Amino acid sequence: MKKLSFVCLSALIAGFCFAEETKPAPNPVVVPFEMLKSGHMAVQVKVNGIGPYLLIFDTGAPTSLVNNKLAEEVGLFKGKFKSPFAMFGSQGQVKIKKLAVGDQEAEDLEAMIMDHPTVDTLSRGVGKALYGIVGFPFFARFKLTLDYKAKTMTLIPSGYKPPDVTKAIVAGLLSSGSKTLAPSAQWGMVASKEVGDDEDGVDVKEIIPAGAADKAGLKRGDRLLTLDGRWTDSMHDLYEAAGFVKPETSVVVKIKRSGKEVELKVTPTKGF
């Protein structure tokens, strides 16, 4: 009976929370996917209301791809010059007004028109027509839960606005190729890693009195293994991990002290 009353209670709380919200939380949309025998996942996609077409769902794809056949059928070429000499039928970038994966729709998405040879090869291999790849510009907008066992993905709008990846790449190519790693908050400690030291972690070389690390009980000589769940195997690692932690948030650091692993909570301050 205990379990039962707990369930009822949480149901009551949920109702209360919803009543407090000014905007109703967006509903999760569950989309089934098909596992292809090649180990890829495929989803039913409608473009501008036309379809469904079977596309690969690919978290490793920075952009979405649609092939020329799909582009032709849903009218993506309207007002667009179509080059007959393009490599792999590549017709460049387009903006898709509406793209729905299962019942989840998104608007104004970047995509490339291209007959990607890998998609074609795959298509022949699995004996199904595949029309392209759904990538980052679509899935990044959602809190995405992938479940291979249930063969479903669950999508809830997250509010994240994906940047234009093509622009990001160009900016990256034009950048100097150097960067400075900076913590986002002040920890009050100095670490070091000797040349030739291949063991996990970095050495805590100095704890600055009255700083955040000092208050949390870190000591000189501790071996710092992780910071907020991130490995700190090098000085770069340490600074990068510290870059993810906002000031005044309490996070766990894992250290090794006299042969034992210990977890401490540190709250870095707003400073530098």
Partner 1 sequence: MSYRPVLLTILVVPLLFAADAPNPRIYEVPYKTTLPKHIVVRVKINKKGPFNFILDTGAPAMIIATKVGEKAGLSNGDDGWAVMDRLEIEGGPTLVKTKARVETPFQLEGMNGLGLAGMEIHGLMGYHILARYRMEIDFTRDKMTWTELDFNIPQPGRIRGGAGSAGGLEVMGTLMKNLGGFLGRKPNPEITLRGFVGLTLENGDEYPTVVGVLESGPAGKAGVRKGDFILKINDRSVTSVGDILRFAARKPGGETMIIRVKRKDGEQDITFKTGEGI
Q: Does 58 bind partner 1 (CB under 8 A)?
A: yes
Residue of the chain from 30, 51, 93, 239 that contacts partner 1 (CB under 8 A): 239
CB of 50 or CB of 108, closer to partner 1: 108
Residues 257 and 254: their CA atoms lie apart, in Å, by: 10
Q: Does 3 bind partner 1 (CB under 8 A)?
A: yes
CB of 76 or CB of 241, closer to partner 1: 241
Residue of the chain from 27, 83, 145, 249 that contacts partner 1 (CB under 8 A): 145
Q: Does 56 bind partner 1 (CB under 8 A)?
A: yes
β-bridge partners, 34: 42
Q: Does 182 bind partner 1 (CB under 8 A)?
A: yes
Burial tier of 234 (Cβ tally within 10 Å: 0-12, 13-18, 19+): middle
- Is residue 270 within 8 Å of 185, Cβ to Cβ? yes
- Relative to beta strand 92-101, strand 41-47 is antiparallel
CB of residue 271 vs partner 1: minimum separation in angstroms? 4
Subset of residues 25 to 54 that bind partner 1, contact rule: CB under 8 A: 38-41
CB of residue 137 vs partner 1: minimum separation in angstroms? 9
Which of 227, 44, 187 lies closest to 128 in space, CA to CA? 44
Q: How far is CA 119 from CA 83, 99, 113, in A?
A: 21, 19, 13
Q: Does 171 bind partner 1 (CB under 8 A)?
A: yes
Q: Does 59 bind partner 1 (CB under 8 A)?
A: yes
Burial tier of 68 (Cβ tally within 10 Å: 0-12, 13-18, 19+): buried
Q: How far is CA 220 from CA 38, 156, 189, 261, in A?
A: 52, 45, 9, 15
Subset of residues 191 to 230 that bind partner 1, contact rule: CB under 8 A: 191, 206, 208-211, 228-230
Q: Does 9 bind partner 1 (CB under 8 A)?
A: no
Per-residue interface string for the shown chain with partner 1, residues 91-130, x marking contact by CB under 8 A: --------------------------xx-xx---------
* Segment near partner 1 (CB under 8 A); pick from 70-78, 93-101, 102-110, 144-152: 144-152
